[in-house]
Amino acid sequence: MHFAFTDEQAMIAETVRGFFAEHATSARTRKAMAGDGVDRALWASFCTELGLSGVAILEDAGGAGLGLVELAIVAEAAGAQVAALPLLGHVMASQALAVGGGDRQVLGELIAGDTIAAYAHRADLSASGDTLNGTIEFVAHGGIADCFVVTTNDAAWLVAADAPGLTVTPLTTMDQTRPYARLTLNGVAGERLSDPAAAISAAHNAGFVVLAAEALGGAQACLDRTVGYSLERVQFGRPIGSFQAYKHRLADMMVEIEQARSAVYWAACAIDESSDEAALAVHAAKSFAADTFFRCAGDMIQLHGGIGFTWEHDAHLFFKRARAIQTLLGEGAWHREQIAAMVFGDAA
Amino acid sequence: MHFAFTDEQAMIAETVRGFFAEHATSARTRKAMAGDGVDRALWASFCTELGLSGVAILEDAGGAGLGLVELAIVAEAAGAQVAALPLLGHVMASQALAVGGGDRQVLGELIAGDTIAAYAHRADLSASGDTLNGTIEFVAHGGIADCFVVTTNDAAWLVAADAPGLTVTPLTTMDQTRPYARLTLNGVAGERLSDPAAAISAAHNAGFVVLAAEALGGAQACLDRTVGYSLERVQFGRPIGSFQAYKHRLADMMVEIEQARSAVYWAACAIDESSDEAALAVHAAKSFAADTFFRCAGDMIQLHGGIGFTWEHDAHLFFKRARAIQTLLGEGAWHREQIAAMVFGDAA
Amino acid sequence: MKLGFTPAEEDFRKEAADWLAGQMAGEFADIKGITKLTERPERRKEWEQQLAAHGWSCIGWPKEWGGRDASLAEQVIFAEEYARAGVPGRINHIGVELAGPTILTFGTDEQKAKFLPGIAAGTTIWCQGFSEPNAGSDLASVRTKARLDGDEWVVDGQKIWTSLAHVSDWIFVVTRSEEGSKGPKGLTFVMMDLAQPGIEVRGIKQINGDAEFNETFFDGARTAADNIIGAPGGGWKVAMGLLAFERGVSTLGQQMGFRNELDEIVAAAKANGAARDPLIRQRIAKAEIGLRLMRYGAMRMLSNTDHSRPDGAALTYKIQWASWRRALGELAMDVLGQTGEVTDGPAYEWGILPNLFLYSRADTIYGGTNQIQRNLIAERALGLPREPRGDL
Amino acid sequence: MKLGFTPAEEDFRKEAADWLAGQMAGEFADIKGITKLTERPERRKEWEQQLAAHGWSCIGWPKEWGGRDASLAEQVIFAEEYARAGVPGRINHIGVELAGPTILTFGTDEQKAKFLPGIAAGTTIWCQGFSEPNAGSDLASVRTKARLDGDEWVVDGQKIWTSLAHVSDWIFVVTRSEEGSKGPKGLTFVMMDLAQPGIEVRGIKQINGDAEFNETFFDGARTAADNIIGAPGGGWKVAMGLLAFERGVSTLGQQMGFRNELDEIVAAAKANGAARDPLIRQRIAKAEIGLRLMRYGAMRMLSNTDHSRPDGAALTYKIQWASWRRALGELAMDVLGQTGEVTDGPAYEWGILPNLFLYSRADTIYGGTNQIQRNLIAERALGLPREPRGDL
């Protein structure tokens, strides 16, 4: 039992924080927002220079052979900068391919950054054999993906973006750093993964952890930036950070964030260690961290006063990202209902 | 449209506030709490000296011929002192008798304070004709009542406390100023009221208004007493009321209380004026005022620090009364569900 | 205490409702239902002139100045019917609800004659310059300078959050007119024509993609010496009086806008099944309760004639509605789910509910943040000690 | 980063669990499941002596002083198993978790020899005297006086909230030993035998009807000159160090008590149908999440070896658990409904859940109110300006 980073983990954390702080600047992110929502150069350096695009993929599948703890460290750092990257879809798709018996060559291309994947799930998508029909909404970074891992509750396929019968419609999205697309599948041929249960489970667990960790990083950034502002900004002749009500609100943010931090790394560890707490932990982490982020981002706006609701200030990037994380991969109430069912031993 | 007290109403308010402040002292209330939960001398002077025990009963039925606004004024003042009085049962029972065709002599005795009534409702109480069987829980001040108005959803009876077959079991109750009793009816003969629909509706509307108004008075007392304490108590070399976080919490209490005040008098007016908003208003007033009171009483304890959770301090009287009001006559979630059904035009 | 209206008042309601409905079905059908403050300003000026032409522009003002001397009940009724008819909010609301009443209360007869007719007629649109980049919620820290140069005031400085300045004709500006003065002393309340080279207005884009607010720069801007309200150096008192007008009848019209938003949410919940979710039902009920309590709080505020003590309903109103509406925005998004996070077309422009979600984050900030409101309540209503200023 | 335990640690868990279960099924079955701190103190002293006799009293202490030099993981495991077995909380928890560690850290060898054996053996029960009637959360305002009179300290004054003083043998008292000193200076940390005529203990009845807390009056109370920890006037440093011990392994045992409470609520909800209410289900899930996060927060706190910066998990722990438990009390009552508001028999004595509801209102007050906790977090962890004191 040692619930703190190892030296290696601390080093990874330092490296990725430095990487995103240096490269995922507000200016670059805003440029991506005005375009198709992805900073391609940043993604390329993330995959090639940092070598962490396959962080939680087994080495024999071309990854770094680390775990979800290290993945969470990466996602936390990316979230702290609201980086405009296709990280979520990449992680979910590559996890599915790696453990679900997917195409190793495609997996290699994903890790190398040559190919960008998105993940698209619909429980009741119509499939006759490997021919897919139907619509999948809200596919994160779907508009720029080269391929998709498409799943139902019990099957998974790899689908190329240019597959006949597939229409990808990019949508104007509130969080411009992770725009959604609608997939319309009209007799699309998918390449079936041999172990769909493993693929779906690995993809979703990794997705929950990525979102929770992004939320943690985002929430901490909201707190840090607001603390910084509060020490500079003078009102009524005093730094606003000297007003007790302001201090207490920042303290409340920290109380939530510290819990979110426990939640994220508990969930990542629980999966890495195949703990029987893993299912509970991912639902807890996803819902708690998302709510924490939303609250902190809302507080960031409020505590910045007028400047906080301008387009020019970064607060809205965090705020919109937080909202998106709340609804991606299941809303908070749904996750809590899963936990209630475990606690009560039922499924209401 | 004039949503402020008339001169007459303002005079009544001043009178009842003075009456309860003078007589319903902490010492007298605590004496009642240690006994059977009623200050009989106070009730006697309320009925005989003040002449407001029939405030919202028509004059030809022996009342003062005023409305629920005036009743709310009385209940607000009683609630501000957490007076140990059988007001709730008295009002509900006497309203039921007055408009439901009940025994006028008994009604006269109730208003005169010679007889104390309680109100006992159970939707599915077993009745064959006028013979009643079953158990009714949580009858407020049931242990000291001389008679009961017993109702189901569509019938109402007057039952004497010494009726054969009736067992009244007083219960140790968290709010010692309004202890509950269990009624066990074993072939009890009731005296049927001729207009049960009118009786039940009048009783419940009056009950909702009494509880909401008590809650308003209690919440305002919590705020007033805490403000007073905050100006006296010095910590860290300053009156604690000068700390901004403390000030803001008191301000938040006031924001809630002002809304509760609007709610209580809106509901009372809406019933008095037979407005089509009346049903919505009573559910809003009961749930909102009860929650406001609970929050303010909890804050009162918190903002008093250590002394606030001692038996010796009055904060717990308010706190326990607030909790009791939350659950009496339907919990907040139930009232809000009634409102949702009105808004959506359904009944989920 | 009485909530109902008299038959005569109900007749007035019908008259107003009929006229407004006729306009929104006829000549001005093209602006019905507009909710964004920045949409179609020129056409809305025409509408406000139409209101004036039919005597509906400033009904609570004295007849002498273009009003109707309408009773409180009539003003309440008109505000409700105005919003119920789907008429867009007044683009000149600063003129009608703030500048006009301020001039009526504090202005000279000459100033009344000069400014009130243009406001009543809808020909002169006003905006206000209170906040500054370093004095967001802190009027006493104003730095914009005014000095008397012969028979003109010359103003230099910068204001921010000047809502609708880009469509306005005149602005009233709180300035520091006594060099070296601090805090509430030495402030002067200056009225200026915006159409002059010394004033530049730049839009501020908000998080919803819209730009209702502006920065307004003053560089040797000029106005006649008698275009000040109150005495030179006496601006604080005027500004405080003006803020009180913000809590008038107009709140009821604002609430009808909230009603429309809540109705949209209810309709969306019915359409997508969220109406069956017990958690959503509780929140809808709370929103409904809150809106009703806002209405009756406003009624209490308007009925209150005892000005000898702080009015609790009035002092708590701003934080109440702002917090309520921010929560409403979150409820709207939770009802919509991810559908609320996407919009048709390439432009970053949002429908009523997502826009509510984004815009309402500003509600708890402008016009005095929630934090400032709590200070005011604690100090003015509860008598708690004032916050110490760092520099005073 | 690793959450699991080693096989050796799991063996240790089994050993501890078996021994505890045996005791609770055997000789000490009569105290199993007691949750109130005030219940059956004499019998519980016997139990703590039994713990000591079998080497389970202070397992984290050095072997030299009656401990086992247990590793962090072993301490975690023992705390969890202790509570899981339904063993009542340590009546001497002040001695074992605060006084003992303070003496171990700051005491002289003579003091260690004099005091530690009694604590380890469970024969000397300790309580603490920090708060005063006018210095609830403000240790720097302490007024209780100590003066050296020959070879004895003489103490006069009053302490309040001295938990379990009525069953304790010794008390440690923060006193003001330098006349005229202010704030954190001039404080001395004095240890005193309670059994003397100069000390009187009076119970304070709480809102749940129980009396765990006391007022303790000192009137010429005496103790030997060397019964002070640290230097005369150096009590502040010792007191601050002692407060840090409050966030140790014992938190995990405390959490197991919370687990029992939550389990009771879940059982009640299943029994009365509240488990089918979606609103209750959400709150149960939140409570479950909060409790787990408390556990992993404690694990982070205990695993943290970087003491160069403020430990976020540690600084936020008190407000986290206190707020969580207060909410749990409200949840308990909402699950029970009116049934929770009545109790059998004539005495005002409550079952575990209603008692939780009432008692937990104190959790956010004692040991530093939530307000004080927020100040500490803001100032120590976030580096925000300190609150100005009125008199310093």
* CA D86 – CA C329 distance, rounded (Å): 47
The per-residue pLDDT for range C283-309, each reduced to its tens digit, is 999 999 999 999 999 999 888 877 777
Dist CA C229 CA C126 (whole Å): 15
Distance from CA of B266 to the nearest CA of D (A): 28
Give me the CATH number covering residue D289: 1.20.140.10
In a domain, B254, yes or no: yes
Last residue of a domain, one of C183, C198, C233: C233
Length of chain C in residues, anyone?
392
Indicate whether A152 belongs to any domain: no
**Helix axes of C278-303 and C250-272: crossing angle, nearest 10 degrees:** 170
Residue C85: DSSP 8-state: T
pLDDT in tens, B199-224: 999 999 999 999 999 999 999 999 99
Contact C3/B at CB under 8 A: yes
Residue C248 clears pLDDT 90, i.e. is over it: no
Q: What is d(CA C351, CA A174) in angstroms, rounded to the nearest whole number?
A: 12
Domain assignment of residue D328, yes or no: yes
Q: Of B325, B335, B339, nearest to B87 (Cα)?
A: B325
In a domain, A288, yes or no: yes
Chain A CB contacts of D383 under 8 Å are: 227, 231
What per-residue confidence (pLDDT) applies to D244? 64
The pLDDT, as a whole number, for residue C141 is 81
Looking at chain D, which residue has its C-alpha nearest residue C277? D278
Partners of residue D2 in chain A, C-beta under 8 Å: 1-3, 269, 273
DSSP D148-161: EETTEEEEEEEEE-
Among C residues 200-259, those touching chain B with beta carbons less than 8 Å apart: none
Summarised one tens digit per residue, pLDDT across range D24-38 is 999 999 999 888 888
Dihedral over alpha carbons C68, C74, C77, C80 (to 10 degrees):
40
D230: left (phi over 0), alpha (psi -120 to 50) or beta: left
Q: Is the pLDDT of residue D391 over 80?
A: no
CA C319 to chain centre: 14
- Of all residues in chain D, the percent with pLDDT exceeding 70 is 96
C329 close to A (CB below 8 A): no
Residue D56 is encoded by which pair of tokens?
Answer: 């389970």
Token output for D351: 């079952």
Nearest of C246, A288, B189, C238 to residue D294 by alpha carbon: A288
Confidence of residue D113 (pLDDT cuts 50, 70, 90): very high
Cβ contact D281–A348 (<8 Å): yes
Contact C296 B266 (CB under 8 A): yes
In a domain, D223, yes or no: yes
Strand C213-224 relative to strand C170-176: parallel, antiparallel, unpaired? unpaired
**C253 and C368, same domain (yes or no):** yes
Whether residue D392 is contained in a domain is answered as: no
- In this prediction, residues C131-159 reach a mean pLDDT of 87
Q: How far apart are the C-alpha atoms of A221 and A219, rounded to whole Å?
A: 5
Chain B residue closest in CA terms to C384 = B241
pLDDT above 70 (res A256): yes
**Min CA distance, D278 vs chain C (Å)?**
7
Cβ-defined contact of B236 to D390 (cutoff 8 Å): yes
Q: Which of C36, C70, C91 is the last residue of a domain?
A: C91
Count structural domains, chain A: 1
The mean pLDDT of B151-156, rounded to a whole number, is 97
Neighbours of chain A (3+ CB pairs under 8 A): B, C, D
CA distances from B14 to B9, B41, C187, D204 (A): 9, 21, 43, 37
Residues D142 and D65 in one domain: no
State whether A236 and C337 contact (CB < 8 Å): no
- Per the structure, the complete domain to which residue A204 belongs is given by 198-347
- What pLDDT does residue D124 have? 96
Are C257 and C205 in the same domain?
Answer: no
Confidence of residue D134 (pLDDT cuts 50, 70, 90): confident
Query: What residues of chain B, 226 to 255, have a C-beta less than 8 Å from chain A?
Result: 243-245, 247-248
Answer whether residue C119 is part of any domain. Answer: no
pLDDT at position D392: 41
CATH of the domain at A299: 1.20.140.10
Q: Which of D70, D91, D112 is the last residue of a domain?
A: D91
Interface contact B243-A244, CB threshold 8 A: yes
- For chain A, the maximum distance between any two Cα atoms, rounded to a whole number of angstroms, is 71
| Helical axes B315-327 vs B196-232, angle rounded to 10° | 150
Reduce the DSSP state of residue C200 to 3 states and report it.
strand
Instruction: Select from D342, D348, D356, D364 the residue whose CB has the most chain B CBs within 10 Å, as the one to mutate to test that interface.
Output: D342
Contacts of C188 (CB under 8 A, 6+ apart): C146, C153, C174, C175, C176, C177, C228, C230, C232, C233, C234, C235
Where does the pLDDT of residue C35 fall: very low under 50, low under 70, confident under 90, or very high at 90 and above?
confident
**Is C366 part of a structural domain of the chain?**
yes
Least reliable range by pLDDT among A81-90, C59-68, D134-143? D134-143
Angle at A207 between CA A201 and CA A210, to 5 degrees: 140
Subunits with at least 3 CB pairs below 8 A relative to chain C?
Answer: A, B, D
D174: part of which helix (H) or strand (E)? strand D170-176
> What is the distance between the alpha carbons of residues C328 and C287, in angstroms, rounded to a whole number?
7
pLDDT averaged over every residue in chain A = 97
pLDDT at C391 over 60: no
Terminal-residue alpha carbon distance, chain B: 35
To the nearest whole angstrom, how far is the Cα of D279 from the nearest Cα of chain C?
Answer: 6
The answer to whether D212 touches B309, Cβ cutoff 8 Å, is no
* Residue to substitute from B230, B242, B243, B244, interface A, most A β-carbons within 10 A: B244
First to last CA, chain A: 35
Please indicate, yes or no, whether residues C184 and C292 belong to a single structural domain of this protein.
no
CB atoms within 10 A of CB D260: 16
B67 found inside a domain: no
Question: Mean pLDDT score of chain B, rounded to an integer?
Answer: 97
% helix / strand / coil in chain D, to the nearest 5?
50, 15, 35
Residue in B closest to C318 by C-alpha:
B255
DSSP E strand boundaries for D194-317: 199-204, 213-224, 228-229
Q: How many residues does chain B have?
A: 348
User: Is a pLDDT exceeding 60 seen at residue D350?
Assistant: yes
Answer yes or no: is pLDDT of D218 > 80.
yes
Q: How many domains does chain D have?
A: 3
Give the C-alpha separation, A220 to A264, whole Å: 13
Dist. CA D221–CA D218, nearest whole Å: 6
Question: Contacts of residue D388 in chain C, CB cutoff 8 Å?
Answer: 388
pLDDT-derived band at A45 (thresholds 50, 70, 90) equals very high
D67: in domain:
yes
Give the C-alpha separation, D302 to D281, whole Å.
32
Classify each residue of C214-253 as buried b or exposed e, where b means 16 or more C-beta atoms within 10 Å of its C-beta: bbbbbeebbbeeebbbbebebbbebbebbbebbbbbbbbb
CB-based contact D112:D156 (threshold 8 Å): no
The pLDDT mean for chain D works out to 91
Whole-angstrom Cα distance, residue A185 to residue D217? 81
pLDDT score of C104 more than 80: yes
**Sole residue written with tokens 């108005």:** B149
The domain that contains C22 carries what CATH number?
A: 1.10.540.10
Q: Say if residue D305 is in the same domain as residue D374.
A: yes
Alpha-carbon distance B64 to B7, whole Å? Answer: 17
Asked if C19 and C63 sit in the same domain, the reply is yes
Separation in Å, CA B310 to CA B82, B324, C60, D203: 17, 19, 55, 11
Q: What's the pTM value of the predicted model, to 2 decimals? A: 0.95
d(CA A183, CA A125): 11
Count CB-CB contacts under 10 A for residue A162.
Answer: 9
pLDDT (average), residues C340-352: 93
How far does B260 lie from chain C, in Å, by closest CA? 8
The reply to whether B256 falls in a domain is: yes
Q: Are residues D365 and D296 in the same domain?
A: yes
Q: Mind listing the pLDDT tens digit for each residue in D42-95?
A: 999 999 999 999 999 999 999 999 999 999 889 989 988 998 898 998 999 899
CATH of residue C145's domain is 2.40.110.10
Does some domain include residue B101? no
Say if the Cβ atoms of A306 and C205 lie within 8 Å.
no
Distance CA B76, CA D193 (A): 52
Note down the domain range covering C287: 247-381
Encoding tokens for residue D156?
Answer: 């006069």
What residue of B is the nearest CA neighbor of D343? B172
Residues of C carrying an active site annotation: 246
User: Is residue A187 in a domain?
Assistant: no
